[in-house]
């Protein structure tokens, strides 16, 4: 199995070093899933503050002093609202941190072999979450409504247009009409905020097969994460850009690679090439848990000895993967509940065996009676 | 043990930085030269002199840190970015303090206490 | 004592990597007396298994899992830790808890495991033999010797006050000092009273209330309450 492969050994070595510096309670590698969750809270809060002053319109027919559109509202936030520039920076760099944290999370999950078989729901929902986060970030860049936003919007329209059969409808859905208007920008705002809340639903699916998921890093790590975001805000401050002009045709400029790397592909390979690469990349990622590529040992699920089960529920509560369900005991039983194992969720860890005081559940290849006999034999040997 | 000492020193530096940053907060918004409104208590305590002197020195310190920002053509009041950096340092110091001084329980070994 | 203490190690497959040290029969080559049983996850260890090991004659049991926070199966090490500490059912019933050590070590930490195992064996050597049920019978005739254990109990509160806040590791040299006279006394024929004092000498180092339970098991309900009175003075 993947227990001793070189990547796993790499992570174990790095984590061992980290444990020597900070206690394992504060080792950030052990919170690789909780860190993106915390960053999401930062994004929600900073996003809420920005949303309070944002105006989703595109009018710039009259470049008067009283012009109010998306770009001027963002400008207002940056220059006039106290700490508006900082909040804007926090929102942008927390977003980048989110992509980095998700990728590191995925890398650790992959290298430490925690995605197979019974964990496939987590992996696939994770890929879906990544796609959602990327799209949310991209709509965020459109919302500023500067030249880059206009360019990205046009590129996306051309990408959607090239999808066979449904391309035209997709394009019109995206622009909320036939051309870019105020409705387009309010659509972007809806996608940006609405999809962010949909993340919560997708996260539920990501967590549903785990009991007591670890979703909060210890406060010390949260402070350090915020500190890093603040430091980056200082080191890479928000710089001025130009308002979008629907009559002009801006060209490619420097892009934030964390979110906008698909646009590099789009610019390089054209719309069809873009879709090809997106499907290939994300399809390959989704196929990772397939057993045939890795030859992992099939899991032998735990089995309940129905006669001995008293329905105490300890195995069901302890199981880390929600694989044991308590069902009403059959008629004629002295007890009210009976444990049943859902074999496709079982990881073969044996926590249920450790929880059972009645010898009513066993791993098929390692029964606890055998183990106890072996222990006694070793003592006497 | 050495690591704990290093943490403690960084903590101390961070706490001082946090204090500096907090005192900076009223002046973060203003550009150098504009009059900062001091709280009324300062006038009551007749400490306007030292308070204004403090504000001036903060302004000059802030100029130093704000210079790289002007070179990068940052938008918005520069004092805010400086404040954000200071807050970052303070948060780091706080985190290191928590990690060093936090609970001392051994995480790699557990001894079962006697049953009562 | 010279005798090698038998320590059963219940370890999970992904914790400290002992495979290079373990022989065919589960014995550790570099640490005689330590015998290894492997589990897929430390969460599979039942407290019953720990008690079975102790009651069938092992001097001590080491339970070893991954670092807390890094269990491959997410929660196994936290489960067994909580079970051993009594925070989660099922728990330990009659085992001598001083003879159980729990370690949470990552795969590269084999050397740490070996050094902890060695220290544990030294500690077990000081503890002496596990109290077998037969040895508790002579407690009754020692009812006459009440005066002597009562006196000793008065000396002990002073040491107890020092030792309570200290960690077990630091308490060991103090125990050694106490137990050397106690152990010598064991060899004497008139040792019945004193051998009863020895287990009590050990116990007075630990929490007071625990003594009530164990003394009652030995049939010395009166004596323990007397001792408690002495301590309250």
pLDDT in tens, A344-380: 899 999 999 999 989 999 999 888 888 888 888 888 8
Residue A35: which CATH number? Answer: 1.20.810.10
Tally the domains of chain C: 2
* Cα radius of gyration rounded to whole Å, chain C: 19
Task: Indicate whether A151 and A269 sit together in one domain.
Answer: yes
Task: Indicate whether C164 and C141 sit together in one domain.
Answer: yes
- Which pLDDT score is estimated for A325? 94
Of C85, C102, C127, the position where a domain reaches its end is C127
Residue A309's pLDDT band (cuts 50, 70, 90): very high
Tally the domains of chain A: 2
If one compares B7 and C101, the residue with the highest pLDDT of the two is C101
Of A293, A314, A344, the position where a domain reaches its end is A293
**pLDDT (mean) for A267-292:** 89
With respect to residue B95, please indicate whether it lies within any of the assigned structural domains: yes
Q: Distance (Å, rounded) from C-alpha C40 to C-alpha C197? A: 43
On whether the CB atoms of residues A152 and A142 are closer than 8 A, the answer is yes
**C-alpha dihedral sign at A233, A239, A245, A246:** negative
Task: Indicate whether A14 and A96 sit together in one domain.
Answer: yes
Of B110, B114, B116, Cβ closest to residue C81? B110
Q: How far is C186 from chain A (nearest CA, A)?
A: 26
Task: Indicate whether A203 and A330 sit together in one domain.
Answer: no
- Which pLDDT score is estimated for A133? 96
Task: Indicate whether A332 and A279 sit together in one domain.
Answer: no
Q: How far is C52 from chain B (nearest CA, A)?
A: 17
**C-alpha dihedral sign at A108, A114, A117, A122:** negative
Task: Indicate whether A280 and A309 sit together in one domain.
Answer: no
Relative to beta strand C34-39, strand C7-12 is parallel
With respect to residue C2, please indicate whether it lies within any of the assigned structural domains: no
- Which pLDDT score is estimated for C189? 44
Task: Indicate whether A234 and A330 sit together in one domain.
Answer: no
- Which pLDDT score is estimated for A91? 96
Q: Distance (Å, rounded) from C-alpha C47 to C-alpha B46? A: 72
- Residue the block writes with tokens 């948060």: B91
Q: Distance (Å, rounded) from C-alpha A90 to C-alpha A324? A: 43
Q: Distance (Å, rounded) from C-alpha C49 to C-alpha C20? A: 25
Helix (H, G, I), strand (E, B) or coil at A345: coil
What sections of A112-218 are H helices per DSSP?
A: 120-143, 147-161, 167-175, 182-207
Helices C168-187 and C147-163: angle between axes, nearest 10 degrees:
160
What digits encode the pLDDT tens for the residues A7-58?
Answer: 888 888 899 888 888 888 889 999 999 999 999 999 999 999 999 999 898 8
- Residue the block writes with tokens 């092992």: C58
Task: Indicate whether C120 and C173 sit together in one domain.
Answer: no
**pLDDT (mean) for B10-31:** 68
Work out the burial of residue A181: count CB atoms within 10 Å of its CB; fewer than 13 is exposed, 13-18 middle, 19 or more buried: middle
With respect to residue A238, please indicate whether it lies within any of the assigned structural domains: yes
Length of chain C: 233
Least confident residue range of A244-258, A260-274, B51-65, C131-145: C131-145
Of C44, C90, C107, Cβ closest to residue A12? C107
Ranges assigned E (strand) in chain A: 303-304, 324-328, 337-341, 361-362
Task: Indicate whether A287 and A332 sit together in one domain.
Answer: no
On whether the CB atoms of residues C63 and C16 are closer than 8 A, the answer is no
What digits encode the pLDDT tens for the residues A341-353?
Answer: 999 899 999 999 9
Of A293, A322, A337, the position where a domain reaches its end is A293
Range of the domain at B6: 2-28+43-99
Tally the domains of chain B: 1
- Residue the block writes with tokens 């040992």: A297
Q: What ipTM is given for this predicted complex?
A: 0.85
Residues of B in contact with C98 (CB under 8 A): 112, 114
With respect to residue B84, please indicate whether it lies within any of the assigned structural domains: yes
Average pLDDT of chain B to the nearest whole number: 76
With respect to residue B33, please indicate whether it lies within any of the assigned structural domains: no
Residue A332's pLDDT band (cuts 50, 70, 90): confident
On whether the CB atoms of residues C6 and C35 are closer than 8 A, the answer is yes
Q: How far is A26 from chain B (nearest CA, A)?
A: 7
- Which pLDDT score is estimated for C190? 42
A257 CB contacts (<8 Å, ≥6 apart)? A264
Q: Distance (Å, rounded) from C-alpha C175 to C-alpha C77? A: 31
Helix (H, G, I), strand (E, B) or coil at C12: strand
CB contact under 8 Å between A220 and B81, yes or no, is no
With respect to residue A83, please indicate whether it lies within any of the assigned structural domains: yes
On whether the CB atoms of residues A34 and A45 are closer than 8 A, the answer is no
Which helix (H) or strand (E) is B110 found in, with range?
strand B109-111
Q: What is the percent of chain A with per-residue pLDDT over 90, rounded to a whole number?
A: 57
Task: Indicate whether A202 and A252 sit together in one domain.
Answer: yes
Task: Indicate whether A68 and A167 sit together in one domain.
Answer: yes
If one compares B115 and A260, the residue with the highest pLDDT of the two is A260
Ranges assigned E (strand) in chain C: 7-12, 34-39, 60-65, 100-104
Task: Indicate whether A109 and A228 sit together in one domain.
Answer: yes
Residue of A318, A320, A340 lying closest to A328 (CA atoms): A340
CB contact under 8 Å between B88 and A26, yes or no, is no
Q: How far is B114 from chain C (nearest CA, A)?
A: 6
Range of the domain at C225: 133-232
Of A242, A271, A293, the position where a domain reaches its end is A293
Helix (H, G, I), strand (E, B) or coil at B78: helix
Residue B24's pLDDT band (cuts 50, 70, 90): low
CB atoms closer than 10 angstroms to residue C24 = 5
Answer whether residue B27 shows pLDDT above 90: no
- Which pLDDT score is estimated for A85? 92
Whether the full predicted model's pTM is greater than 0.80, yes or no, is: no
Of C102, C127, C152, the position where a domain reaches its end is C127
- Which pLDDT score is estimated for B112? 86
What digits encode the pLDDT tens for the residues A176-200?
Answer: 989 888 899 999 999 999 999 999 9
End-to-end, the C-alpha distance of chain A in Å comes to: 32
In terms of CA atoms, which chain B residue is nearest residue C212?
A: B116
With respect to residue B36, please indicate whether it lies within any of the assigned structural domains: no
CB contact under 8 Å between A357 and C90, yes or no, is yes
Task: Indicate whether C121 and C49 sit together in one domain.
Answer: yes
Q: Distance (Å, rounded) from C-alpha A225 to C-alpha A42? A: 10
Range of the domain at A34: 2-293
Task: Indicate whether A106 and A203 sit together in one domain.
Answer: yes
Average pLDDT of chain C to the nearest whole number: 68
Residue A366: which CATH number? Answer: 3.30.70.3270
CB contact under 8 Å between B115 and C103, yes or no, is no
- Residue the block writes with tokens 């809420």: A48
Q: Distance (Å, rounded) from C-alpha C197 to C-alpha C226? A: 14
With respect to residue A298, please indicate whether it lies within any of the assigned structural domains: no
Residues of A in contact with B74 (CB under 8 A): 85, 237-239
Of C82, C108, C127, the position where a domain reaches its end is C127
Task: Indicate whether A17 and A62 sit together in one domain.
Answer: yes
Q: Distance (Å, rounded) from C-alpha A278 to C-alpha A259? A: 14
Least confident residue range of A239-243, A250-254, A326-330, B23-27: B23-27
In terms of CA atoms, which chain B residue is nearest residue C112?
A: B108
What digits encode the pLDDT tens for the residues C165-194?
Answer: 444 444 444 444 444 444 444 444 444 444
- Which pLDDT score is estimated for B103? 63
- Which pLDDT score is estimated for B21? 63
Query: Peptide bond before C90: cis, by omega within 30 degrees of 0?
Result: yes
Task: Indicate whether C15 and C118 sit together in one domain.
Answer: yes
Task: Indicate whether C222 and C179 sit together in one domain.
Answer: yes
């Amino acid at each position: 199995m993947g227990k001793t492969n070189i990547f796993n050994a790499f992570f174990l070595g790095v984590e061992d070093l980290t444990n020597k510096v900070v206690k394992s309670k504060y080792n950030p590698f052990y919170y690789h899933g909780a860190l993106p969750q915390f960053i999401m809270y930062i994004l929600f809060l900073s996003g809420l503050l920005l949303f309070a002053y944002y105006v989703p319109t595109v009018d710039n027919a009259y470049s008067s002093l009283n012009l109010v559109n998306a770009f001027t509202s963002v400008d207002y936030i940056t220059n006039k609202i106290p700490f508006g520039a900082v909040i804007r920076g926090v929102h942008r760099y927390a977003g980048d941190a989110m992509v980095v944290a998700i990728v590191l999370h995925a890398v650790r999950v992959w290298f430490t072999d925690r995605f197979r078989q019974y964990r496939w729901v987590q992996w696939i929902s994770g890929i879906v979450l990544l796609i959602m986060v990327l799209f949310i970030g991209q709509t965020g860049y459109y919302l500023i409504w500067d030249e880059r936003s206009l360019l990205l919007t046009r590129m996306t329209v051309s990408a959607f247009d090239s999808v066979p059969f449904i391309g035209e409808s997709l394009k019109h859905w995206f622009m909320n009409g036939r051309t870019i208007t105020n409705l387009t920008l309010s659509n972007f705002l809806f996608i940006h905020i609405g999809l962010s809340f949909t993340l919560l639903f997708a996260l539920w699916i990501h967590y549903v097969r785990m009991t007591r998921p670890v979703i909060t890093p210890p406060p010390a790590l949260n402070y350090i994460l915020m500190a890093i975001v603040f430091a980056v805000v200082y080191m890479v401050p928000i710089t001025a850009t130009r308002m979008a002009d629907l009559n002009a045709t801006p060209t490619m400029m420097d892009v934030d690679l964390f979110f906008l790397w698909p646009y590099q592909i789009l610019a390089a390979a054209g719309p069809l090439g873009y879709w090809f690469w997106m499907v290939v990349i994300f399809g390959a990622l989704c196929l990772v848990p397939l057993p045939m590529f890795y030859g992992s040992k099939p899991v032998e699920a735990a089995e309940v000895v129905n006669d001995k089960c008293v329905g105490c529920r300890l195995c069901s509560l302890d199981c880390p993967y929600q694989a044991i369900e308590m069902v009403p005991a059959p008629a004629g039983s002295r007890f009210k509940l009976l444990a049943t194992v859902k074999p496709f969720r079982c990881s073969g860890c044996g926590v249920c065996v450790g929880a059972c005081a009645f010898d009513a559940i066993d791993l098929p290849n390692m029964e606890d009676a055998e183990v106890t006999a072996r222990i006694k034999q070793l003592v006497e040997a | 043990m050495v690591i704990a000492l290093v943490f403690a020193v960084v903590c101390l530096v961070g706490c001082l930085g946090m204090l500096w940053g907090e005192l900076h907060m009223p002046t973060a918004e203003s550009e150098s030269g504009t009059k900062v409104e001091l709280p009324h208590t300062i006038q009551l305590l007749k400490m306007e002199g030292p308070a204004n002197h403090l504000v001036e020195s903060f302004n000059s310190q802030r100029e130093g840190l704000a210079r790289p920002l002007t070179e990068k053509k940052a938008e918005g009041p520069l004092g805010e970015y400086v404040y954000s950096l200071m807050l970052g340092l303070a948060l780091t110091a706080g985190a290191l303090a928590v990690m060093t001084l936090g609970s001392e329980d051994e995480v790699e070994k557990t001894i079962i206490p006697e049953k009562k | 004592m010279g005798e090698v203490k038998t320590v059963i190690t219940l370890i999970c497959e992904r914790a400290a990597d002992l495979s290079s040290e373990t022989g065919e029969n589960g014995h550790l080559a570099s640490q005689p007396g330590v015998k290894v049983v492997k589990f897929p996850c430390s969460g599979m260890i039942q407290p019953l298994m720990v008690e079975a090991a102790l009651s069938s004659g092992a001097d001590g049991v080491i339970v070893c899992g991954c670092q807390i926070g890094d269990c491959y199966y997410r929660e196994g090490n936290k489960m067994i830790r909580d079970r051993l500490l009594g925070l989660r059912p099922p728990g330990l019933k009659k085992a001598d808890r001083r003879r159980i050590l729990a370690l949470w070590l990552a795969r590269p930490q084999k050397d740490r495991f070996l050094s902890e195992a060695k220290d544990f064996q030294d500690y077990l050597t000081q503890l002496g033999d596990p109290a077998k049920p037969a040895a508790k019978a002579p407690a009754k005739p020692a009812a006459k010797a009440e005066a002597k254990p009562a006196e000793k109990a008065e000396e002990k509160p002073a040491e107890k006050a020092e030792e309570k806040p200290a960690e077990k590791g630091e308490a060991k040299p103090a125990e050694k000092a106490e137990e050397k006279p106690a152990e010598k006394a064991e060899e004497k024929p008139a040792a019945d009273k004193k051998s009863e004092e020895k287990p009590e000498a050990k116990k007075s180092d630990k929490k007071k209330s625990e003594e009530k339970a164990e003394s009652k098991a030995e049939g010395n309900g009166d004596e323990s309450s007397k001792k408690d009175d002495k301590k309250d003075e």
